[in-house]
Amino acid sequence: MTCILRTVGLTKRYGGKTVVDNVDMSIQAGDIYGFLGQNGAGKTTTLRMLTGLIHPSAGEIELFGTAMQWSKGKAMARVGSIIEYPGFYLNLNAAENLEIHRRMMGMGNKTCIDEALATVGLTDAKHQKVKNFSLGMKQRLGIARALLHRPELLLLDEPTNGLDPGGIKEMRQLFLDLARRRGITFLISSHLLGEVEQLASKIGIIHGGRLLEEIGSEDLRKKTRHCLALKVTDEQKAAFILEQRLRTTDYVVSGTGGLRLYAYVDRPEQVSAALAAGGVGVREMSVSGDSLEDYFLKLTGGEKFV
Ligand SMILES: Nc1ncnc2c1ncn2[C@@H]1O[C@H](COP(=O)(O)OP(=O)(O)OP(=O)(O)O)[C@@H](O)[C@H]1O
Ligand SMILES: [Mg+2]
């Protein structure tokens, strides 16, 4: 897989305080990378470095396989971003705001404006002044602006901040759609565990400036999936019984009498009865696996995510 963005030892210090601490992150083509961290964790500071708004104190950033150029390098033309709240000229309409950006980006063809507005569902609001926009519409316009030059990578800092649940859902749909249909790669920061969980294909957890973990969502799901952990007298025979009598293949044999069963977690009595009837003794049986929230709590040393 192509690595689109990579940092090595990325660090930012303000005065004596290290606010981004030796971060190694990597984003592959097609990822929706959820950058999860609590308030003050260092998300915005990291994104500011990735977009060239501030210089790192140490470390390297590689974009599309080349070291980032600080003086508007070529790679930045392939990146769109919204860092904190997108600012607009409130007395101008949506199209006029995008037109200013189009000229700034040196884009020749005006059709990109209608295209970007259509993509985010703002075609009907094209001539409406931005001061009359709802927060959700402003966020959409921010995305339209970030998309204007048809970037391959979008860096979005808390794009759903302040939106109601309906607005958050619409945004999520939009991101998934852009990822699937246009192949855009995303880095989206958030302090909401639930939101990242529903959207991300890969999650990076930042805490106190340090990247505690980077994990694919499938691996995370496996790690946090509940199961019945069994110790039995004969695991091969037990597996046969699970398939024949309980009609499930959702288990893993872990050897030396161990077996993890992901089905029947809420019906352990049926499992022990079926195994006993088949002549397999159950030595131990317990529910195992953390909830996603427990998992993050452990990582962050007990500090809660919302
Ligand atoms: N320009 C600056 N000067 C000094 N300290 C700063 C500066 N910018 C950020 N910080 C500090 O760096 C830390 C990380 O801030 P940052 O804004 O990156 O966090 P965040 O994860 O984006 O938080 P939030 O969820 O609140 O947006 C904070 O302690 C903040 O006070
Ligand atoms: Mg922030």
Report the residue among 45, 47, 57, 300 best suited for mutation to probe ligand 1: largest number of ligand atoms under 8 A from its CB: 45
Q: What is the mean pLDDT of residues 116-135?
A: 94
Q: What is the pLDDT of residue 300?
A: 80
Q: What is the pLDDT of residue 73?
A: 54
Report the residue among 12, 18, 43 best suited for mutation to probe ligand 1: largest number of ligand atoms under 8 A from its CB: 43
Q: What is the pLDDT of residue 140?
A: 92
Q: Which residues contact 218 (CB under 8 A, 6 or more apart)?
A: none
Q: Please tell me the distance between residue 56's alpha carbon and the centre of ligand 2 in angstroms.
A: 17
- Counting from 1 in the atom list of ligand 1, the atom nearest the Cα of 46 is 18
Note whether 262 and 251 are within 8 A (CB): yes
- The domain spans of the chain are 3-215, 225-289
**Banded pLDDT at 70 (limits 50, 70, 90):** low
Q: Please tell me the distance between residue 43's alpha carbon and the centre of ligand 1 in angstroms.
A: 8
Q: Please tell me the distance between residue 20's alpha carbon and the centre of ligand 1 in angstroms.
A: 9
CA distance 283 to 278: 15
CA distance 283 to 154: 52
For 5-23, the pLDDT digits (tens) are: 999 999 999 999 999 999 9
Q: Please tell me the distance between residue 205's alpha carbon and the centre of ligand 2 in angstroms.
A: 14
CA distance 293 to 172: 21
CA distance 270 to 278: 12
Q: Give all strands (DSSP E) within the chain, no chain letters.
A: 3-14, 17-23, 26-28, 32-36, 58-63, 66-67, 79-82, 153-157, 185-190, 202-207, 210-216, 227-232, 251-255, 258-261, 282-288
Q: What is the mean pLDDT of residues 85-92?
A: 88
Q: Whose CA is nearest to atom 10 of ligand 1?
A: 19
**Which is higher by pLDDT, 220 or 129?**
129
Q: What is the CATH number of domain 3-215?
A: 3.40.50.300
Q: Which residues contact 16 (CB under 8 A, 6 or more apart)?
A: none
- Counting from 1 in the atom list of ligand 1, the atom nearest the Cα of 15 is 4
What residues flank ligand 1, with Cβ below 6 Å?
Answer: 14, 19, 37, 39-45, 191
What type of residue is 63?
Answer: L
**Which is higher by pLDDT, 178 or 220?**
178
Note whether 189 and 23 are within 8 A (CB): no
> Which ligand approaches the C-alpha of residue 20 most closely?
1
Q: Please tell me the distance between residue 271's alpha carbon and the centre of ligand 1 in angstroms.
A: 51
> Which ligand approaches the C-alpha of residue 43 most closely?
1
Q: What is the mean pLDDT of residues 178-200?
A: 92
Q: What is the pLDDT of residue 30?
A: 94
Q: What is the pLDDT of residue 304?
A: 61
Specify whether domain 225-289 bears CATH 3.30.70. Answer: yes
Q: What is the mean pLDDT of residues 261-274?
A: 94
- Counting from 1 in the atom list of ligand 1, the atom nearest the Cα of 38 is 25
- Counting from 1 in the atom list of ligand 1, the atom nearest the Cα of 37 is 21
> Is residue 75 predicted with pLDDT exceeding 70?
no
> Which ligand approaches the C-alpha of residue 39 most closely?
1
Same fold for the pair 3-215 and 225-289: no
Question: Residue 79 pairs with which residues in a beta bridge?
Answer: 153
> Is residue 92 predicted with pLDDT exceeding 60?
yes
**Which one of 78-82, 167-171, 276-280 scores highest in mean pLDDT?**
276-280
Q: Which residues contact 247 (CB under 8 A, 6 or more apart)?
A: none
Report the residue among 19, 39, 84, 195 best suited for mutation to probe ligand 1: largest number of ligand atoms under 8 A from its CB: 19
Give me the chain's average pLDDT, please: 90
> Which ligand approaches the C-alpha of residue 84 most closely?
2
Q: Please tell me the distance between residue 209's alpha carbon and the centre of ligand 1 in angstroms.
A: 9
For 218-253, the pLDDT digits (tens) are: 888 877 788 899 999 999 999 999 999 999 999 999
> Is residue 117 predicted with pLDDT exceeding 90?
yes
Return the residue matching tokens 């609001």: 125
Gyration radius of the chain's alpha carbons: 24
Q: What is the pLDDT of residue 54?
A: 92
> Is residue 305 predicted with pLDDT exceeding 70?
no
For 134-174, the pLDDT digits (tens) are: 988 999 999 999 999 999 999 999 998 888 888 899 899 99
